[in-house]
Amino acid sequence: QLHQMPQIVKIMKIFLLGLLLSCVLGDPECQEPFTCTIEVGGDVLNCLQVPSDQELGCQLQLHSDYSELYIRYSLITSLDGTGTGAPRSLDVSFNRQLTSVKPEVFQNDKMKDAIFKSNGIYSFPFTYLSPAKSLVFLSLLDNGIKVLPDSIPDVPNLEHLDLNHNLIKDVPAGVFSSLSSLKMVQLADNKIASLLPQAFGFKTQGVGVDLGWNKLSEFTLDVFLSSSLPRFLDLRENLLTYLPETTFRPIIENMKSFGSRASLLTSGNPVACTCDLRWLYDWGYREREIQNFVHVSCTESAREINIWESKVLHDCPPKDQLEELNST
């Protein structure tokens, strides 16, 4: 047995050397130790071009105590968590093979910003958001999302939800009604052609709504609750041909109370400068402050112009005379 001792000692030395290297270099399973690097005084962990889910998991175990985590331009298919850190800001963007996000990602009551931009998350698991009590901003821009859930659960501090540039066709009634702190919802550049009553049944007044670059041919007041009219409404580049007074007067009247934060945008719609818009034209000249936030365009002589510049509307009979003429 004595003659075996040198070999045993040699094996022990190799084992201890391997253990030492593991402590110095990190987990030996990590094949590319520099795909995730600490930046800005150890506060930011930047993961770039990570080649696999396994490699990302390994990398995240090597680092801790970061307040911002960036995972971009990688070949990951699933995000299973954020490692040992509890980042306040999470940016997972430009990972086109990423289709799945696990609940562990949102089991972080410190997270304030979560950005999932230009991935392949066709169906986002909104039910996983509940533990993220501090979340203020969530962006799902450009993921190919087609369907929204019937309801998004309460995320008590969520103020801004960005769903721009997806493939959403329908907005379920009351889908945002549980979001008690919501201030802005962006649905621009989707495939929305019509809206259900109370689609934007918010809990609070003055939420901003961006519906630009969709396929809306009409817009009615009942998409809002009377107690939750918007302070900001973007309807640019849709298919609207008419801006009815019954819909837009209450919205504009409500916007007046929000001062410089109010805005109504409708350019890029096939709205003609006809006497149907005289109600708004007259109102804007009676109350000039309306012109500061109501940015409505119409087509006159084959040219889109600001409503306040229209010669046709200027020459229309006043609204009361117009109603009398129409009744006869």
pLDDT in tens, the chain (328 residues): 545 555 655 555 554 444 444 444 444 467 776 789 988 777 899 999 999 999 999 999 888 789 999 999 999 999 998 887 789 999 999 999 999 999 999 999 999 999 999 999 999 999 999 999 999 999 999 999 999 999 999 999 999 999 999 999 999 999 999 999 999 999 999 999 999 999 999 998 999 999 999 999 999 999 999 889 999 999 999 999 999 999 999 999 999 999 999 999 999 999 999 999 999 999 999 999 999 999 999 999 999 999 999 999 999 987 666 565 556 5
Residue 184 in 3-state DSSP? strand
297 located within any domain: no
Last residue of a domain, one of 96, 115, 145: 145
Say yes or no: 8 and 54 in one domain.
no
Last residue of a domain, one of 117, 145, 173: 145
Say yes or no: 3 and 101 in one domain.
no
Say yes or no: 50 and 104 in one domain.
yes
Say yes or no: 124 and 72 in one domain.
yes
Say yes or no: 26 and 50 in one domain.
no
Say yes or no: 25 and 51 in one domain.
no
Say yes or no: 124 and 48 in one domain.
yes
Say yes or no: 49 and 10 in one domain.
no
4 located within any domain: yes
52 located within any domain: yes
Say yes or no: 22 and 39 in one domain.
no
Measure the CA–CA gap between 35 and 25, rounded to whole angstroms.
14
What is the total count of domains within the chain? Answer: 2
Residue 309 tokens, joined: 């510049």
316 located within any domain: no
Last residue of a domain, one of 119, 145, 171: 145
272 located within any domain: no
**How much is the pLDDT for 84?**
74
Say yes or no: 15 and 83 in one domain.
no
Say yes or no: 39 and 25 in one domain.
no
293 located within any domain: no
Which residue range(s) make up the domain with 14? 1-30
**Helix ranges, 213-310 (H):** 245-255, 278-286
With a CB cutoff of 8 Å and minimum separation 6, the contacts of 69 are 44, 45, 47, 82, 83, 85, 87, 89, 90, 91
111 located within any domain: yes
Say yes or no: 69 and 130 in one domain.
yes
Could you tell me the pTM of the whole model? 0.87
118 located within any domain: yes
